[in-house]
Amino acid sequence: MKLYDVQTEYKTKKKIKRIKTELSKETKLTIIRLLVSFILLLVGSSSLLPTPIDVIFFIMAYLVIGARIVYTAVKNIFHGEIFDENFLMSIATIGAIILGQYPEAIAVMLFYELGNVFEDVAVNRSKKSISALLEVKPAFATLKIAGKTKTVDPSVVQIGQIILVKPGEKIPLDGKVVLGQSSVDTSALTGESMPQNIKVGDDALSGSINQNGTLQIKVNKVYNDSTVAKILDLVQNATSKKADTEKFITKFAKIYTPIVVFLAVALAVVPPLVAQGAWDVWVYRALIFLVISCPCALVISVPLSFFGGIGAASKQGILVKGSNYLEALNDVDTVAFDKTGTLTKGQFSVVKVAPQNGITKDELLQMAASVEKNSTHPIAVSILNAYTGKILPVENAMEQAGHGLSAEINGQRVVVGNAKAIKQAGIEFTESTALGTIVYVAVAGKLWGDIVIADEPKKDAKKAIELLNNRGIDQTVMLTGDNEKVGSAIAKKLHMSNVYTNLLPENKVEIVNDLLKKSHQANKKVAFVGDGINDIPVLATADIGFAMGGLGSDAAVEAADIVIMGDEPSKVARAMKIAKKTRRIVIQNISFALVIKVMFLLMGAFGMVDMWQAVFADVGVTIIAVLNAIRLQFINFDN
């Protein structure tokens, strides 16, 4: 089967996506055979033809549509695969021909192959979103060398080289923008439809599409380590890990098929021998029994449902590494989160400026920013980002580790630091009770005020916890290395069940192990959501590990079972929603197929259905189950 080919073009002000669907050559040939066989069947069924001639047309029609299936059945027998659907179809239709039921035999093969065509189209449809991800693979890179440009394969570009990306082109490798600014479409990577603006100094992710400005990017990762290569690897291996339900259906089919074959043989042989029944009647019923018993609906629709679930998740910027993880999400009762970078922005910013003694906010920030201007500490950066005014000249700047900075401005000694620094300077003050990191500013022995710096929760964080609570998750737990005061405040703000603070990575593993013990006693599972390299041990320990913002952390992507490619913790609940809907569709298909199969098998055994109705019980049920499976592709999971 051929995947959807997705191409993206940018024209002036709007993006146009064109999706081109192609059937495989095999499927096209099958459609031709269906048409030829159907025409031959119509000719053979004509009352104008004498009996020997109509049989020739029937045999020709059967060979056109059924020869491939019979050949496959024979070939599989020599490979030890006896009891498969090809074997069932071949035995049933050859038997019908022997009994002179030519139209019925041809109809079985026609509808069976029609079902195969329908399955091919359905699988292509369900793979569309994943193949869209595969299309992010860049075809070339424009390398800039000594003022000239050269088109090369992305795999030959080295770290530190400069590449040129024109409007409408895919960014071929990860790097930093060194010249130019533009809007880039990252929807295939993150599921985010809104274009992102990037400028000099910003990271550029491979697989993104440059929309309007020309960019020069300094490469910081070789192709094999790039974002797009990681995503391609994840997507291409997503179906290799099977869910327990899929494994069960495969085992069930291997046991079920031989049993129904032996039952069919018994149905054909026992009644004529024991009750003196007519051989042709009971053999015909046995052939109907074989057609009905084909487990196609289960074998096709269950994996297709899981594949559809993985595809639906990928549309949302959620990469699930296997259907086993998608199924496991249905049993999660506890979700543990890392704090920094997962629930919070992971970026310090000034959240409060509290001047005293008649000093203005602007004066307080100016004094602090002037002293901190040469520091690269995150706290200094956040103060400098908050103040955009004039920086005052400083003299005799000094830094004391664990305390802060001091310097002279206009002949006055200025101290910028924590409570220890103010105490050491002998300045009287009252410690602030604000949440966050407190930076005090004192000038000439007097306190001017304090600046509160904190890592704020993401806009999406509260919604994420609320959605999980609404989904019936028993516990939402925060695990953080931050102090109790800060950790508890954020957990309370987000309405989380529990919070553990002052943790080292090994402490997080111990707590997750305790959570696992409690959940496993109730046959439930624990998920952990993290974003950094320090979360790897916990990601590996939990039943299901989510890597948040996984595009930026190679190690986290490797350790996680599910990768959220954007920066929204609410996608954890969305993944669970998709998993629940997938399981519901799988159960619907299994229940529907088994009920119809059992009902028709009993009716077939008692002679209450003919071959045409048996075809519905096989192909009809398969088509309905497949249609139900691909519903996942049309559900709006954004709501």
Task: Look at residue 2 in the predicted model and tell me its pLDDT.
Answer: 30
The per-residue pLDDT for range 506-542, each reduced to its tens digit, is 788 899 999 999 999 999 999 999 876 567 788 888 9
Q: Considering the chain, what percentage of its residues have pLDDT values greater than 70?
A: 86
Question: Tell me, what's the pLDDT at 1?
Answer: 28
* pTM over 0.75, yes/no: no
pLDDT at 469: 93
Q: Is 610 a catalytic residue?
A: no
248 within 8 A of 328, measured Cβ to Cβ: no
Question: Which of 371, 372, 353, 352 has its CA nearest to residue 362?
Answer: 353
Mean pLDDT of 315-342: 88
Whether 618 shows a pLDDT value over 80: the answer reads no
Indicate if the pLDDT at residue 489 is higher than 60: yes
Would you place residue 14 in the very low, low, confident or very high pLDDT band (cuts 50, 70, 90)? very low
Name which of 240-244, 541-545, 635-639 the model is least confident about. Answer: 240-244
The reported pLDDT for the residue numbered 176 is 93
3-state secondary structure labels for all residues of 361-408: HHHHHHHHHHHHCCCCCHHHHHHHHHCCCCCCCCEEEEEECCCEEEEE
Phi and psi based region of residue 18 (left: phi greater than 0; alpha: psi -120 to 50; beta: remaining): beta
pLDDT, position 577? 94
Nearest by Cα to 571 from 343, 345, 346, 348 = 343
332-338 and 475-479 as β-strands: parallel, antiparallel, unpaired? parallel
Kindly state the tokens that stand for 441: 């500013």
The DSSP secondary structure of 59-91, one letter per residue, reads HHHHHHHHHHHHHHHHHHHHTT--SSHHHHHHH
Query: Is 425 a residue whose pLDDT tops 60?
Result: yes
Q: Which helix (H) or strand (E) holds 24?
A: none
Tokens standing for residue 191 = 């599921």
Supply the DSSP string of 122-161, one letter for each residue.
HHHHHTHHHHHHHTT--S-EEEEETTEEEEE-GGGPPTT-
Which amino acid is residue 87, in one-letter code? F
In the prediction, which pLDDT does 18 show?
35
CA 634 – CA 578 distance, rounded (Å): 12
- Does 496 or 437 have the greater pLDDT score? 496
Checking if the pLDDT of 498 tops 90, the result is yes
| Predicted pLDDT of residue 11 | 32
Contact 452, 438 (CB under 8 A): yes
* Cα 624 from chain centroid (whole Å): 26
More confident call, 314 vs 67: 67
The kind and range of the H/E element at 607 are none
Structure tokens at 274: 């024991």
Nearest to 592 by CA among 627, 638, 639, 567: 627
Question: Can you give the pLDDT at residue 58?
Answer: 92
pLDDT per position as a tens digit, 372-409? 887 777 788 889 999 989 999 999 888 887 788 999 99
- Rounded CA separation 219/275 (Å): 82
Positive or negative torsion for Cα 471, 473, 474, 480: negative
What is the pLDDT, as a whole number, of residue 475? 94
pLDDT single digits (tens) 434-449: 877 889 999 999 999 9
Nearest to residue 475, comparing CAs of 327, 336, 326? 336
Q: 10 Å Cβ neighbour count for 290?
A: 30
CATH number for the domain running over 346-456: 3.40.1110.10
Residues near 636 by beta carbon (within 8 Å), at least 6 away in sequence: none
17 DSSP β-pair partners: 8
Classify 270 as helix, strand or coil.
helix
Is the confidence at residue 6, as pLDDT, over 50?
no
Among 86, 37, 33, 90, smallest CA distance to 59 is for 37
Give the model's pLDDT for residue 5.
Answer: 30
Distances (CA, A) of 620 to 294, 592, 600, 609: 12, 12, 12, 15
Closest by Cα among 211, 192, 256 to 571:
192
CATH of region 141-222: 2.70.150.10
Active-site residue, selected from the candidate residues 84, 174, 185, 338: 338
Average pLDDT on 540-552 reads 78
Distance, CA of 638 to CA of 505 (rounded, Å): 34
DSSP for 315-363, written as a single string: HTTEEES-HHHHHHGGGEEEEEEESTTTTEEEEEEEEEEEE-TT--HHH
Work out the burial of residue 578: count CB atoms within 10 Å of its CB; fewer than 13 is exposed, 13-18 middle, 19 or more buried: buried
Are the beta carbons of 355 and 468 closer than 8 angstroms? no
Query: Helix H segments across 418-570?
Result: 419-424, 461-470, 484-493, 505-521, 536-541, 554-559
Provide the token pair at 316: 């949302």
Task: Answer for the pair 122, 585: CB distance below 8 angstroms, yes or no.
Answer: no
CA angle 564, 570, 572 (to 5 degrees): 55
Q: Is 610 helix (H, G, I), strand (E, B) or coil?
A: coil
Q: Identity (one letter) of the amino acid at 27?
A: T
Please tell me whether residue 308 adopts helix, strand or coil conformation: helix
CB burial of 508-529 (b: ≥16 within 10 Å; e: otherwise) equals bbebbeebbeebeeeeebbbbb
Interhelix angle for 51-78 vs 85-98, to 10°?
A: 150
**CB-count exposure of residue 535 (10 Å: 0-12, 13-18, 19+):** buried
Could you tell me the CA-to-CA distances from 33 to 28, 92, 104, 309, 506 in Å, in that order?
9, 20, 17, 33, 63
pLDDT in tens, 108-118: 888 878 877 87
Give 499's strand partners: 478
Name the residue ranges covered by the structural domains of the chain. 1-126, 141-222, 317-344+458-578, 346-456
Residues 416-421 have a mean pLDDT of 88
User: CA separation (Å) from 447 to 21, 44, 380, 412, 576?
Assistant: 70, 103, 19, 13, 52
Whether domain 317-344+458-578 has CATH 3.40.50.1000: the reply is: yes
Three-state DSSP at 215 gives strand
pLDDT tens profile 124-179 = 655 554 555 555 567 789 999 888 888 998 889 999 999 999 988 888 888 999 99
